[in-house]
Amino acid sequence: MAKSAKTGRRASKEDRARAAGLVTSYFRGLSSLDGRHCINPEDGPEFQVFDYGTDVETLLVALQSFAEHGTFALMSDIEPFLMRLEMNELRSAGTTYEDAVAKLAVKHNMSDSTAGLRVKRNVKT
């Protein structure tokens, strides 16, 4: 019987979840008819954030950072984006905005106000 190949250490659950969120977001944009997917369709047009299936820069930057550091945790600029994805999932499950922010704060070990700022809907994101 052949031995299975050793793979060494594997990515943490958090890094796997971050990677899954990035891939899911990318594929939603890629599979839509116009090549983009709105993350927050319930917001006004000026606050809506889109994932574009043809824009792979975010995905490549994340992959490059993971290759260099072995984790996505050092990517502070992508954390708010991933938290907004989590917020979107919580809101679509029927959670109120305030409860969703509180859950994210607990999950990411930060205050409610910090979590609220990370998922804040603004024009530039």
Q: What is the pLDDT of residues 3-18, one digit of tens each?
A: 666 666 777 787 788 7
User: What's the half-sphere exposure (Cβ side, CA atoms, 13 Å) at 53?
Assistant: 12
In whole angstroms, what is the distance from residue 100 CA to residue 56 CA? 28
Q: Could you tell me the end-to-end alpha-carbon distance of the chain, in angstroms, rounded to an integer?
A: 53
Report the distance separating Cα 46 and Cα 22, nearest Å: 23
Please give the structure tokens belonging to residue 55. Answer: 């824009």
Cα-trace Rg, the chain = 16
User: How far is the CA of 32 from the CAs of 49, 51, 99, 112, in angstroms?
Assistant: 15, 10, 30, 34
CA angle (11 as vertex; 75, 69 as ends), nearest 5 = 40
At residue 125, the pLDDT reads 40
pLDDT tens string 15-61: 788 788 778 877 887 888 888 877 777 777 777 777 777 777 777 77
- The candidate with the shortest Cα–Cα distance to 82, out of 55, 108, 109, 44, is 108
The ranges assigned to domains in the chain are: 13-118
Between CA 13 and CA 10 the distance in angstroms is 9
pTM: 0.52
